[in-house]
Amino acid sequence: MNGSDRQAYDRGVSVFSPDGRLYQVEYAREAVRNGTAVVGVRGADGVVLAADARTPSPLLVDGSVEKLHDVDGRLGAATAGHVADGRRVVDFARRRAQTERLRYDQPVGVEPLATAVADHVQEATQAGGTRPFGAGLLVAGVDGNARAAGTGERPRLFEVDPSGSPSEWHATAIGGGADAAREHLEREYDPDVGPLGARNLALGALAATIDADGFAPSDVAVAVADADGYRSLDAGERASALDEAGVRAS
Amino acid sequence: MNGSDRQAYDRGVSVFSPDGRLYQVEYAREAVRNGTAVVGVRGADGVVLAADARTPSPLLVDGSVEKLHDVDGRLGAATAGHVADGRRVVDFARRRAQTERLRYDQPVGVEPLATAVADHVQEATQAGGTRPFGAGLLVAGVDGNARAAGTGERPRLFEVDPSGSPSEWHATAIGGGADAAREHLEREYDPDVGPLGARNLALGALAATIDADGFAPSDVAVAVADADGYRSLDAGERASALDEAGVRAS
Amino acid sequence: MNGSDRQAYDRGVSVFSPDGRLYQVEYAREAVRNGTAVVGVRGADGVVLAADARTPSPLLVDGSVEKLHDVDGRLGAATAGHVADGRRVVDFARRRAQTERLRYDQPVGVEPLATAVADHVQEATQAGGTRPFGAGLLVAGVDGNARAAGTGERPRLFEVDPSGSPSEWHATAIGGGADAAREHLEREYDPDVGPLGARNLALGALAATIDADGFAPSDVAVAVADADGYRSLDAGERASALDEAGVRAS
Amino acid sequence: MNGSDRQAYDRGVSVFSPDGRLYQVEYAREAVRNGTAVVGVRGADGVVLAADARTPSPLLVDGSVEKLHDVDGRLGAATAGHVADGRRVVDFARRRAQTERLRYDQPVGVEPLATAVADHVQEATQAGGTRPFGAGLLVAGVDGNARAAGTGERPRLFEVDPSGSPSEWHATAIGGGADAAREHLEREYDPDVGPLGARNLALGALAATIDADGFAPSDVAVAVADADGYRSLDAGERASALDEAGVRAS
Amino acid sequence: MNGSDRQAYDRGVSVFSPDGRLYQVEYAREAVRNGTAVVGVRGADGVVLAADARTPSPLLVDGSVEKLHDVDGRLGAATAGHVADGRRVVDFARRRAQTERLRYDQPVGVEPLATAVADHVQEATQAGGTRPFGAGLLVAGVDGNARAAGTGERPRLFEVDPSGSPSEWHATAIGGGADAAREHLEREYDPDVGPLGARNLALGALAATIDADGFAPSDVAVAVADADGYRSLDAGERASALDEAGVRAS
Amino acid sequence: MNGSDRQAYDRGVSVFSPDGRLYQVEYAREAVRNGTAVVGVRGADGVVLAADARTPSPLLVDGSVEKLHDVDGRLGAATAGHVADGRRVVDFARRRAQTERLRYDQPVGVEPLATAVADHVQEATQAGGTRPFGAGLLVAGVDGNARAAGTGERPRLFEVDPSGSPSEWHATAIGGGADAAREHLEREYDPDVGPLGARNLALGALAATIDADGFAPSDVAVAVADADGYRSLDAGERASALDEAGVRAS
Amino acid sequence: MNGSDRQAYDRGVSVFSPDGRLYQVEYAREAVRNGTAVVGVRGADGVVLAADARTPSPLLVDGSVEKLHDVDGRLGAATAGHVADGRRVVDFARRRAQTERLRYDQPVGVEPLATAVADHVQEATQAGGTRPFGAGLLVAGVDGNARAAGTGERPRLFEVDPSGSPSEWHATAIGGGADAAREHLEREYDPDVGPLGARNLALGALAATIDADGFAPSDVAVAVADADGYRSLDAGERASALDEAGVRAS
């Protein structure tokens, strides 16, 4: 369809175009691509999340605009796209996890959480009176009995896109430059990768999304969700990780 | 009607065109055709569902974007079209089946479930403030007393399209390439087909929807709903099935 | 009014045109004409309903897309037009009949049911946030005390059109080709017609709506509502009926 | 105002045109004129209602599309215009009369009923989300203590138009050809007219609305609301009445 | 502003034009001018209301379309403009007066009633989903303790216009020809005018609004609100009044 | 922005223009300028409010269209712009003052009242389904313990504009000609001005808004809010005040 | 995108443009830039807020249009942009802080408050029926146990922009000229700056936003949030502060 024909269908959330597309959802995906990248890599024991956290001003406090989020226990999330929308989606995930904990006295599973978030996101694409969320989400975590750590842990990584469709990945990236990051991951991924390899892989993929030759420690956020819980790397750990991954800015 | 005249009627869910058509529903059908195909074949003892499950990336976990869904007991469903919409329709089917079970302490019948889903889908085509679901559904299952297996089982296969109209089929296909698949089914269908024949037929029809010469085991999803319940084939079973059907990619 | 002037008034359910017409209701009537025909004939003892039930594919289960519906006891209905809308209207009729039964412990009368359905259909033409139902309905049944069969039965046949206006008929047809069918009925109708004659008349009128020289037994649905209840003819009975009516496809 | 200027104001119920008119209400009046005529004549002892009840098909049951309605006790109504809308307005009148009876154990008066209906009709011209009713109404009845018949009866005749404005008449007509009927009534009306004279006057006025030289008995509906209640004339009575009024079709 | 520019702002109740005007309210005022005139004159002891009550047909019952309304006790109202809207505003005034009486066991004052009506009318100019009332209102009455007649009575006359703005007048007119009537009143008004003089003044002003040389008694409605209550003049009194005022049609 | 570009943004309350403006609010301010002026001057002991109260007709009762309003105790308000809107805003202020009194048994402060009114006005600029109020408000009063008069009184004067923004003034004017009045005030204001000086200053500023050489006593409204309460000047006092201020029409 | 293409997407809050942008949010940011500047600087012991508080008229009471707001205990806020919107956002913050205090008997933390405000602001960008808030906010305060002052205080400074995205800053500025102010801050900021240095830095940055060579004491508002609470500087303190910062107007 040409531009003026397309305009007839792309300004209302609730209508299909003649070729069966929902343009508003596609534009919300564009909003995700307008953000900086986040990467997720599932290793044998846990999931590593890494985010391009460069800030436009040195006056911004490091980590001020969070892209990686502690959701609940051994569950974390990474967001890309329209920042305020991403925060709302993460808030939904947190409330949902808390509800589950209060009701059943156990943590929510990674997949149930991802699909609950996806349902919430889908509703914004069909119900009147709202627009889609302009944010994508990676949900990472480890399933298994939290009260009996060590038994049956299983790391999992899900993506929820602005259409409200969940999908499970070995490793993936969303946001600006995600294509380059995914190419890197497809080339290098090994399902049996250990914690260190997963971190290197994630940071290598993240480096593929930028023009510079690498990151300073304050330019990235890195977190790990494994049997011990969800944990962010501090500045020192980030520096070592960038060195090990060979993507520390010179 | 020409394009500019049609535009006068096709952007609002709630209006008929002068020729008595609901364009938004027709565009939602187009969304179904934009998805990959799913096939259902009713044999003498059960219903086989098969789906084109090829993923765009090797990093996606196999079966991540589910096209075949375990609904309840001996009931399953296959979806084609807008993925997030399909998930919502399946969720509705599941909740409905659970409600029935809780209320009457017995499984919901295949036809009652299909018509309940169809009513839900129709509402989205008439009520204000929403758009049609851009997904088609095959509902497959076996009726009869689940607590007295072997007595009176009757396999049934229904389609629910985006207009909210249910229809019962011996065998059918929806999604991209469905016309080619239905031609294959019309040519080869035999109502007395056994489990094996139904599977071969379903995979043969599915192969007719793609350009390639066949599928790898990870490219398809296959499930059977019969008196023993709803069951997905694992990778090994899928490999054998593709071999037997003669549509394994070389 | 010419086309472009008419467009000013025909896209909103809630507005009259300067010549006092509701175009959306007229377009919904067009949706009824887009469907295949159904015929109703009131005989001395009961009402015969007949429907063009040809299916687009041999894979569709016979009778899958129901055009004749068992409503309650000695009440049935036939629908033409947008299939999903027709089902919703019949559902309304069924719920209404059940409510009446539960409340008063007796079957609802044919006329009260038809007018209740008509009210429901009219609301969709005046209230905001919805469109008219794109389906027409024939309501057929026998009044009288169901618990004292044989006393005071009175067969009745009503039409409810998309405007929500009910009307009572000796015999009528709606859907594609209904004009030809009604001409046939006007020519041949006899109020004292017996069960057999009513059936022949209905099938003859139905045959007038199609180009072919007759129907195969699987191409039609036939039902009778009389003092014994509502009953559909099986395949064998349909074959004999078509033979007797002289409209069996050669 | 010319056509294109008028279009700027006539498609929304809730807006006035610059010359202070509500076009949607005027178009709804046009819908009344599109219907066939009904006539009301108040005599000394009661009110006669007469309607052009010709049907488009001999297959329609006589009296199927009711234009005269038994409302409650000694109260009746006649409707002209959009049939489905007219039925809804009459339903409102009936419910209102029943409520009054239940609450106060006595029949509602003619004027209170007419004004209650008018309020209901006005609301549809001002509140959002609905369109005006495309039907006009004559409300006819006899006031006085129903339990002490013969004391203080007073026949009254009201019109409610689509604007929701009630007015009381000695005699009037609404619907197609109403102007001709009213001319007839103005020429011939006598307030002391007895039952027979009122009937003749009503049928004479009705005959003025059609091109033919008179009516067959099945072409008209006639009813009388007097101290004895509301009563419709049967076919034989209608034949005599047409003869006496000199407007029976030859 | 020229016409096409004005159209950009005059079709939505809720928007101001760039020059700070609410066009819909101005058009509703035009609807008032489209009606026939009503006049109010406050004399020393009471308020006289007079209305042009000419009817378009001799078949209309005299006083059928009421323009003067008994509101409550010593309170009356006159309406001009869109008849159905005027009735709704008067209904509001009556309900309000009753509520006051029930709550405080005393009649509502003239000013509190007029401002309550004005608030109700203003809401229709600002809230979404409705249009302004196309009717103007004169509220007339006598304040003071109704249970101690003769002490402190004070006649008052208020106008409520379609904007919902109340104003108090010695004498005024609204509706068609109101300008001419007000000119007459400005020329002739005397605040100490007695009952007879007030009546003459009101009828003289009313006569200024029409082309004819005077009114027949059935052409006008006249009412007085004074310490004795609200009372309409009967036909004989109206004849004398017209004679005395010198405006009886010859 | 030129006119046609501006039209794209100025008809919906809820949207910003590309240059970050809310045109509807600006047009509502224009509605304030369309009204006649009101002036407020805060003196050492109280606040004087003065309004241009000229009426278009001698038949209007003096003070009929109130521009100065007694709100509660020692609180008053002046309104300019769309009269009906101004009354609603004052009603809100009164209800709010009463609520405060009932809840805490003490008068509401001037500033809390002004900000509560401002919040109410702001809501009408952001919430859907309504338009801004086309009226500006001056809120005048004296804070301090009303039950211990003489201790800590502090006169205050606030303006609330159609955007819902409150501001405190030593002296100001709103409505038609407000610029000229404010120039007069800036030239002449003295914070230690006594009651008489404040009155002279207010009337002088008011005179600057009109073309005539002064006011008749019936042309103005003047009120004072001080420790003794809120009080309007009667006709005699107004005559003296105009004389003293040197702005009595010759 | 060029202007006319952009207009297709920028008038509805709920839609994305094809390039994934929310134009209404961007226009709301423009509304912030249309206001005068506010600056926040976090020092070692507290946060300094400074605002350009110049008023357009000498008749406005100093500090009348508040730009710095006492929120609760040791929490303050600064607003820039559409004044009425800013007040509503601050009101929300105050209510939220009070709720927290009532529920948990302790002050709300700076970050929880900023994110709660951000959520509220984001909702206005996605839900139907409202527009974004045209105001930006700086939230400043000191965390720690208020009942055990001196232990663990930690000054923090957050910005909430019209998209509803919160961010933490060492120092920042919003409103007109914010770019120049931020350049000043980036050049001069030192995290260990003491109270005096922070004040000088804030006023210096503020001076960079205006054309004049400095401020008069009445032209600025300055406040400090530290362990002792939130406190505004009086006129004398402001004079000294401007002198010390070297930005007092000569």
Q: Do residues F227 and F144 touch, judged by C-beta distance below 8 A?
A: yes
The Cα E238–Cα F229 span in angstroms is 51
pTM metric for this prediction: 0.85
Among the partner residues A15, A118, A172, nearest to B84 by beta-carbon distance: A118
Residue of G230, G232, G233 whose CA lies nearest to G97:
G230
* CB spacing of C84 vs B15 below 8 angstroms: no
- Chain C residues whose C-beta is within 8 A of a chain B C-beta are 3, 6-7, 10-13, 23-24, 27-34, 57-61, 64-65, 81-85, 87-88, 91, 124, 128-134
In terms of Cβ atoms closer than 10 Å to its own Cβ (0-12, 13-18, 19+), residue G209 is buried
The Cα F12–Cα F24 span in angstroms is 7
The Cα F157–Cα F165 span in angstroms is 14
List the single range of A64-68, A243-247, E238-242 with lowest mean pLDDT. Answer: A64-68
DSSP class of D115: H
* CB spacing of D3 vs C8 below 8 angstroms: no
Residue D111 has pLDDT above 50, yes or no: yes
Residue of B40, B128, B29 whose CA lies nearest to B82:
B29
Q: Do residues E135 and E96 touch, judged by C-beta distance below 8 A?
A: no
Among the partner residues F13, F31, F84, nearest to E165 by beta-carbon distance: F84
Residue of E66, E63, E55, E59 whose CA lies nearest to D170:
E59
| Polymer length in residues for chain G | 250
Q: Do residues F158 and F139 touch, judged by C-beta distance below 8 A?
A: yes
Q: How far is CA D137 from CA B21, C126, D51, D119, E66, in A?
A: 34, 18, 12, 13, 19
* CB spacing of A167 vs B60 below 8 angstroms: yes
Q: What is the pLDDT of residue F24?
A: 86
Q: Do residues F215 and F206 touch, judged by C-beta distance below 8 A?
A: yes
Does residue C164 sit within a domain?
yes
Does G touch D (3+ CB pairs < 8 Å)? no
The Cα A118–Cα A89 span in angstroms is 9
**Coil vs helix vs strand at C14:** coil
Residue of D243, D60, D88, D224 whose CA lies nearest to D157:
D224
F neighbour chains, 3+ CB pairs within 8 Å: E, G
Residue D150 has pLDDT above 60, yes or no: no
Q: What is the pLDDT of residue G145?
A: 55
The Cα D129–Cα B14 span in angstroms is 14
Query: Is 0.95 exceeded by the ipTM?
Result: no
Chain E residues close to F27, C-beta within 8 Å: 15-20
The Cα E188–Cα G70 span in angstroms is 63
Residue type, F27: Y
List the single range of A79-88, B140-149, D198-207, G72-81 with lowest mean pLDDT. Answer: B140-149
* CB spacing of C28 vs B18 below 8 angstroms: no
Does residue C53 sit within a domain?
yes
Does residue G219 sit within a domain?
yes
* CB spacing of D11 vs C13 below 8 angstroms: no
Which strand (E) or helix (H) includes residue F113?
helix F110-126
The Cα B168–Cα B109 span in angstroms is 13
| Token pair for A37 | 């990248």
B neighbour chains, 3+ CB pairs within 8 Å: A, C
Does residue B9 sit within a domain?
no
Which strand (E) or helix (H) includes residue G81?
strand G75-81
Q: Do residues G129 and G166 touch, judged by C-beta distance below 8 A?
A: no
pLDDT of E70-83, one tens digit each?
A: 999 899 999 999 99
Residue G47 has pLDDT above 80, yes or no: yes
- For residue A136, report the phi and psi dihedrals to the nearest 5 degrees: -105, 160
* CB spacing of A12 vs B7 below 8 angstroms: no
User: pLDDT tier at D115 (50, 70, 90 boundaries)?
Assistant: very high
List the single range of A113-127, B75-89, C41-55, C136-150 with lowest mean pLDDT. Answer: C136-150
Residue A82 has pLDDT above 50, yes or no: yes
Residues with Cβ within 8 Å of C187's Cβ and at least 6 positions away in sequence, in order, are none
E neighbour chains, 3+ CB pairs within 8 Å: D, F
User: pLDDT tier at A192 (50, 70, 90 boundaries)?
Assistant: confident
Return the top range by mean pLDDT from A20-24, B205-209, C124-128. Answer: B205-209
Does residue F216 sit within a domain?
yes
Q: Which domain holds residue E127?
A: 25-245
A neighbour chains, 3+ CB pairs within 8 Å: B, G
Chain D residues close to E11, C-beta within 8 Å: 8-9, 12, 15
Average pLDDT, stretch D55-69?
Answer: 88
Residue of D53, D40, D117, D116 whose CA lies nearest to D85:
D117
The Cα A47–Cα B155 span in angstroms is 43
Q: Do residues G137 and A106 touch, judged by C-beta distance below 8 A?
A: no
Q: How far is CA A191 from CA A171, B24, B61, B235, in A?
A: 9, 44, 11, 18
List the single range of A148-152, F158-162, G33-37, G231-235 with lowest mean pLDDT. Answer: A148-152
Q: Tell me the angle at which helices A235-245 and A195-207 cross, rounded to the nearest 10 degrees.
A: 80
Residue D23 has pLDDT above 90, yes or no: no
Residue C3 has pLDDT above 90, yes or no: no
Average pLDDT, stretch G171-199?
Answer: 95
Phi-psi label, residue E48: left if phi above 0, alpha if psi -120 to 50, beta otherwise? beta
Residue of G154, G164, G156, G161 whose CA lies nearest to G140:
G156
Q: Do residues B55 and B108 touch, judged by C-beta distance below 8 A?
A: no
Among the partner residues A126, A166, A189, nearest to B131 by beta-carbon distance: A126
* Closest chain E CA to residue D173: E59
**Coil vs helix vs strand at B157:** strand
Among the partner residues A9, A16, A122, nearest to B31 by beta-carbon distance: A16
Does residue B15 sit within a domain?
no
Residue C145 has pLDDT above 60, yes or no: no
Does B touch F (3+ CB pairs < 8 Å)? no
User: pLDDT tier at E128 (50, 70, 90 boundaries)?
Assistant: low
Residue type, A84: A
The Cα B44–Cα B42 span in angstroms is 7
Q: What is the pLDDT of residue D222?
A: 97
For residue A50, give how far its alpha carbon lies from the nearest alpha carbon of chain G (Å).
Answer: 20
| Token pair for A26 | 């596609």
Residue F146 has pLDDT above 50, yes or no: no
Average pLDDT, stretch E110-125?
Answer: 94
C neighbour chains, 3+ CB pairs within 8 Å: B, D
Q: How far, rounded to the nearest angstrom, does the alpha carbon of residue D162 sit from its chain's CA centroid?
A: 12
Chain E contact probe: residue of D6, D126, D185, D186 with most E CBs at under 10 A? D126
The Cα B187–Cα B174 span in angstroms is 17
Does residue A8 sit within a domain?
no
DSSP class of A165: -
Q: What is the pLDDT of residue D110?
A: 96
pLDDT of F194-209, one tens digit each?
A: 999 999 999 999 999 9
| Token pair for C31 | 């949706």
For residue C64, give how far its alpha carbon lies from the nearest alpha carbon of chain B (Å).
Answer: 5
Count CB pairs under 8 A between chains A and B.
107
pLDDT of G95-147, one tens digit each?
A: 999 999 999 888 999 999 999 999 999 998 887 667 899 999 999 999 875 44
Q: What is the pLDDT of residue F64?
A: 82
For residue A236, give how far its alpha carbon lies from the nearest alpha carbon of chain B (Å).
Answer: 31
* CB spacing of G125 vs A84 below 8 angstroms: yes
Structurally, chain E folds into a number of domains equal to 1
In terms of Cβ atoms closer than 10 Å to its own Cβ (0-12, 13-18, 19+), residue B51 is buried
In terms of Cβ atoms closer than 10 Å to its own Cβ (0-12, 13-18, 19+), residue A45 is middle
What are the E-state strand segments in chain F? 38-42, 46-52, 68-72, 75-81, 135-143, 154-160, 166-168, 171-174, 220-226, 229-232
Chain D contact probe: residue of E55, E82, E161, E218 with most D CBs at under 10 A? E82
Q: Which residue has the higher pLDDT, F15 or C236?
A: C236
Does residue G212 sit within a domain?
yes
pLDDT of G145-174, one tens digit each?
A: 544 445 567 999 999 999 999 999 999 999
* Closest chain E CA to residue F32: E20
* CB spacing of A65 vs G165 below 8 angstroms: yes
Placement of tokens 């011209």 in the chain: D125
Residue C48 has pLDDT above 90, yes or no: yes
Does F touch C (3+ CB pairs < 8 Å)? no
**Coil vs helix vs strand at G92:** helix
**Coil vs helix vs strand at A75:** strand
CATH number, domain of A205, equals 3.60.20.10
**Coil vs helix vs strand at A144:** coil
Other beta carbons less than 10 A from residue F109's beta carbon: 17
Chain C contact probe: residue of B2, B13, B123, B126 with most C CBs at under 10 A? B126
| Token pair for A235 | 């500045």
Among the partner residues G13, G165, G170, nearest to A83 by beta-carbon distance: G165
Residue of F119, B109, A69, D122 whose CA lies nearest to G85:
F119
* CB spacing of G34 vs F18 below 8 angstroms: no
List the single range of B235-249, D107-121, E85-99, F117-131 with lowest mean pLDDT. Answer: F117-131
Average pLDDT, stretch F34-49?
Answer: 96
- Chain G residues whose C-beta is within 8 A of a chain A C-beta are 5, 8-9, 12-22, 115, 118-119, 121-122, 125-129, 163-172, 182, 185-186, 189
Q: What is the pLDDT of residue C100?
A: 92
Please name every residue paired with F66 in a beta bridge, in sequence order, or none if there are none: none
Which strand (E) or helix (H) includes residue G69?
strand G68-72
| Token pair for C84 | 């999903």
Residue C147 has pLDDT above 70, yes or no: no
Average pLDDT, stretch A97-120?
Answer: 94
Residue of C200, C209, C211 whose CA lies nearest to C246:
C200
* CB spacing of F30 vs E16 below 8 angstroms: yes
Chain C residues close to B166, C-beta within 8 Å: 87
Q: Do residues C97 and C106 touch, judged by C-beta distance below 8 A?
A: no
DSSP class of C236: H
